[in-house]
Structure 1
Amino acid sequence: MGAAPASGAVPSIGDVLVELAAAPAGEPGGEAAWIKIAPAGTVRTRDGRTFSFDPAALAARFVADGVDVAVDVDHAAARAFLGGQAPAVGWIKALEGRPDGLYGRVDWLDEGKAILAARSRRYLSPTFPHDDLGNATWIHSVSLVATPALPNMPALAGASPTTPLATEPAMKTVLAALGLVATATEAEALAALTALQGRVVDLSAYVRKDVHEATLAQLTAATATLDGIRQANRKTEIEAVLEGALTAKKILPAQREAYAALCATEEGLAQVKALIAASPAMLGASGLDRQPTPGAAAGALTAQQLAICEAMGLDPEAYRKSLAAA
């Protein structure tokens, strides 16, 4: 059973499809059959919605309208405004209010008879508009459905797997946000959305230009300061790594600049750290590091330094000059 639009209008997105109990349609046949469309009084669906039905008032509205009510499949007529097809499989020729509910006399078409014979959809579910209190006002259409909505009812109907009742309040909220009245049509809502999409936002209406520029300048200065701190910290880290390697005799002074160049990137620094950690000391301490070679002139290489030159294939004089310059 479902909520439909106001009289004379097709259902819109804001209308609520309400699926409630209806009696089994009975055995298919050539004669029109009376079936239960809705119970009388207040009812509660299995998904928690509550609606009220006045069978006599609904039957009177049917007579006043003078229009047969279509029977479709799975509320196709209520969704036809989206562009789908909604062929009728039967027509309700009369409505009658009874103590236990609203009944309709259905004239089944061949397609409706086939569906009933196949038992693929055995229950009826009306689509109707209602007021804010949930009182049904008229029957828009009735559908053959497969899933019952109300428990413990001799008459069963289709129940939506979702809770479409929340659609109407949500749609009203959307319309209000768009600056439209609650009764705005789908076309009016789409037009408002299209207008919003094409609008260019002027930021000057929200932030003064001088404040914006001052904030950008502060951000630029802060970024430069942060970069300077990072570079200084990086240089300090590189110096510590190389000095530690020299002290541990894992690199030679002549190799320092080459290792420093390798540390130009974060990846290079990580590789240098790993290489130094895995490298053994080139020479053990001999106690002669600070002792000059006997008979050597001031500034001459020590015995250990000469041994390093010989082991590394370095020119002693070039090595001595590099030490003096360090």
Structure 2
Amino acid sequence: MTTHSLHSKPRVAVCALSVQTTSDKTRLMPAGTFHAPRGAAEGTGPWHLTSEAAQAIIRLAAGRSTDIALDYEHQTLYAEINGKPAPASGWLDPRSLEWRDDGLYGSITWTAAASAAIDANEYRYLSPVFPYDANGVPLDLLHLALTNTPAIDEGAAQLAAARMAITHDVNDDAQEIDTVKREQLIQTLGLAASATDEQIDTAIAALKAAKADADAFRTALGAKDDAKPSEAVAALKASSAAAPADMSQYVPVEVYQEATQQLAALKSGSETAELDALIKEGLDDGRIPGQKTADWLRTKGIAACKAHLEGAPSIAALKSTQTQGKPPEGAEVKGDGKLTETELAVCKSMGISPEKYREANPVPAA
């Protein structure tokens, strides 16, 4: 991992090749080894464009959000120096780049004026501007120009290098412009002297994350963007002091817990009383056939009791007001434990088996 600045001499070059267009694409850079154009003030070559290097340029171009500009005579580089406009001669679709055996190709949309000038043989050469590494391998395609004199001077080359460093994530040793001493960086990050590149990258990522958190903290507090963390904390304390909590809206936790317990006790007592009333009502009108069933429903709770009473018919023969808990007249109590027709009707209405019913309501002793 290396860190860069813009202070040392840039490695930016131009080359020239005839405007060579197939039916769909134009050759932008030649394949293999090629040299600087005669008269170029920056970049003497030779340069070497391989398939691998071209694929790296294609990947970089695919990440661009705008088309790559073509101008006349590299005026894009000189506009900031001479103040003259830099009209486009065409636009290159960065996602159209393609490697072929004889070089790097792409789809250019020429302006009407440029197309006419090419047809009239007023411009003959296409001149790409590109950064390159210490081995002469092109690293990117910055922009291109229609030209008859493809050389650029030192000032324009430095401007191109500056733009390249600003708009690209330079992280390759071959693209290094000015390397900060590794030892100094490690010391600044508070790492061990033997820290690896991965550990350095992780520490830098942590610093970026901490900065993002601090920015979000300042924004939430309404502090200035350049406010120090201590100033942001002071702003938080000041806002808290300016708007103290209204204690009349709160109660001690002991009071809250006591009230909760009392409510729970009241609810339990109320449900118990309601369950007792339901069971008594069921015994009175015959929907609960006996005390065993009543005790069983009591263990199931109020919801189960309500469900039973809603589905069970009122059986007059079992009402305590008529029989006082004794078998109804005419109903034979079988000593063998079998259920009467009335008891079978109760089982059917309650959805229980005769065995479960007899278990809950045993035959009275003789």
| TM category, shorter | 0.3 to 0.5
TM-score for both structures, normalised by structure 1: 0.38
TM-score, structure 2 normalization: 0.35
